[in-house]
A and B are shown apart, each in its own frame.
Chain A
Amino acid sequence: MMMPKITRCPATVLVAALTVVLAVALGGCSSDVEYTAHDIKGVMPNLAFTLTNEQGETVTADDYNGQLKVLFFGYTNCPDICPATMARIRAALGGLEPKQRKAIDVLFVSVDPKRDTPDKIARFTASFGPRFAGLTGSQEQLKTLSRRYRTTYGYGEPNDNGFYLVSHSSAIFVFDAQGRARLLVNQNESVDELTQDLKKLLANIR
């Protein structure tokens, strides 16, 4: 006779408990400093890669130790999003003090090594300023790096001129001086907001 009561009453408790469990599981990360960008501290692994720089030399993430790193995946033939993002980063850096600017390296990782030789990448990054460094690598090296940050890239069909599109991550990843993943900036964030985020991050690490 007690059965119907047992089935009905704790139902709401269970639904509430499930909601709480899911909310805790998902909302676990919070920090004292508020950024406009997504705070990915502890969510994503430390920066690690082996790639080729603009001089054709092999470099690793450790070579950029001590600097705040702003990383972006793209390709130099990119018609829209890469030049626009690079220009946004340049504008955001423009809002910083020269000393703050010097503490930042912008790493442009080309995921189109077939067309993007170190030379070609060097010409592309040079147009954005001295803080911009271009990197690329073998498919294996690039896949390892992009996969580490749960991103990917892919190639479209070439047209008659051999031109093809490349799909890639549109996010800017920011790593601190020790290579820890800190921020994920998406396309909606304004230049001012990015400048403020970088300032806060630089002040926060010191």
Chain B
Amino acid sequence: MLTEIARWATPWEPIPWLITIFAVVAAFYIHGLARRRRARDIVPAFAFLVGLASMYIVMQTHVDYYAQYMFFIHRAQHLILHHLGPFLIALSMPTAVLAAGAPGWLNAGMQWLADLPPVVWLYRVVQHPVIGALLFVGLIAFWLTPSIHFTAMLSARDYWLMNLSMAVDGLLFWWFMLDARRPGATPTTYSIGLRILVLWAVMPPQIAMGAYIALAPDTVYDVYAVCGRAFPISPIVDQQLGGLITWIPAAMMSVVATLILLRFGFAHERQRTRQTNHTPSTDQSP
């Protein structure tokens, strides 16, 4: 039993700096929670920690072995790295808790970095709605191009370039999408309508790619035959499952995010009516 747990917990390809980043972020977050002691942190904390843990598990445990040698598990890994994990992290809006848990010098350093003109500029560019959407869909398409996918699965360097680019892009995209602040609060907080438009724009290409893979009569990705599969399974079944994962849950994330955005919109609306109702009464009082 213990050896089994140890086997699953051991990273297939350990990346020390990546493990360090996860450990440091988790430590700062938990420290921040303990310092703030706020009841309304509990639900977001749950989302944040589940998101962080899921991203860690698919990259730095034995799950990664199966992701390397089974197409459908690879697709599930990317669903977590690019959609589910970053979605939960962005939804929890962890900045305040992380800042409360991190040492002062680090917060000051991060603030300095975030205020650097090239960083501000780059962030605005990648968070531009059209570029954000293109990066989000383009990256999926890029790594799923059969010849590129082939090299990515055979070369250790490209494999990690692929996974980490998906994770970073996922965080950027959902950070942009699930910003609960009032539109216009920051230059990258776009209107709810525009964001919903982007969410729906990224859906058809994902559905098309997933359907193409799931319904293909022949093997599209022969690298899994070349490298061998983790256990015997029909190549076509492996591919169909992988296609379905790319197709259905990935597109459903857009629907879920739309509902959340509508809720944000209603909340902003309520806030505004409350403010306008308050203003006359305060005007009349003196």
B187 within 8 A of A: yes
B125 and A184 contacting across the interface, CB-CB below 8 Å: no
Contact with A along B225-263 (1 / 0, CB 8 A): 111111111000000000000000000000000000000
Instruction: Please report the C-alpha to C-alpha distance between residue A184 and residue B230 in the assembled complex, in whole angstroms.
Output: 20
Q: B225: which of A22, A38, A170 is its contact (CB, 8 Å)? A: A170
| Minimum C-beta distance from A182 to chain B (A) | 14
Closest to A165 in B: B232
Q: A167: which of B124, B148, B231 is its contact (CB, 8 Å)? A: B231
Give chain B interface residues in 108-132, CB to chain A under 8 Å. 121-122, 124-126, 128, 130-131
B154 and A43 contacting across the interface, CB-CB below 8 Å: yes
Residues in A neighbouring B93, C-beta threshold 8 A: none
Name the segment of A100-108, A118-126, A149-157, A191-199 touching the other chain. A149-157
A33 within 8 A of B: no
B231 and A169 contacting across the interface, CB-CB below 8 Å: no
Count of chain B residues near A, Cβ 8 A: 35
A14 within 8 A of B: yes
Instruction: Please report the C-alpha to C-alpha distance between residue A14 and residue B121 in the assembled complex, in whole angstroms.
Output: 11
Closest to B120 in A: A6
Residues in B neighbouring A6, C-beta threshold 8 A: 121, 124
Residues in A neighbouring B187, C-beta threshold 8 A: 3, 7
Q: B227: which of A14, A26, A152 is its contact (CB, 8 Å)? A: A152
Residues in A neighbouring B125, C-beta threshold 8 A: 7, 10-11, 14
| Minimum C-beta distance from B180 to chain A (A) | 22
B131 and A151 contacting across the interface, CB-CB below 8 Å: no
| Minimum C-beta distance from A73 to chain B (A) | 7
Q: B229: which of A11, A167, A184 is its contact (CB, 8 Å)? A: A167
In the A-B complex, list the 10 residue pairs whose CB atoms are closest, starting with the nearest. Answer: A169-B228, A154-B231, A156-B232, A171-B226, A167-B232, A165-B232, A167-B229, A170-B225, A168-B228, A151-B227
* Contacts A7-B124, A150-B155, A152-B65 known; 14 new A-B pairs at CB < 8 A: A6-B124, A11-B125, A11-B131, A25-B158, A25-B161, A26-B152, A43-B155, A150-B156, A151-B228, A154-B229, A154-B230, A167-B230, A171-B226, A187-B225
List 23 contacting pairs A-B, 8 Å CB cutoff, sorted by A.
A7-B121, A7-B187, A10-B125, A11-B131, A14-B122, A26-B158, A44-B154, A73-B228, A150-B68, A150-B153, A150-B154, A151-B227, A154-B229, A154-B232, A156-B232, A165-B232, A167-B230, A167-B232, A169-B225, A170-B225, A170-B226, A171-B227, A184-B154
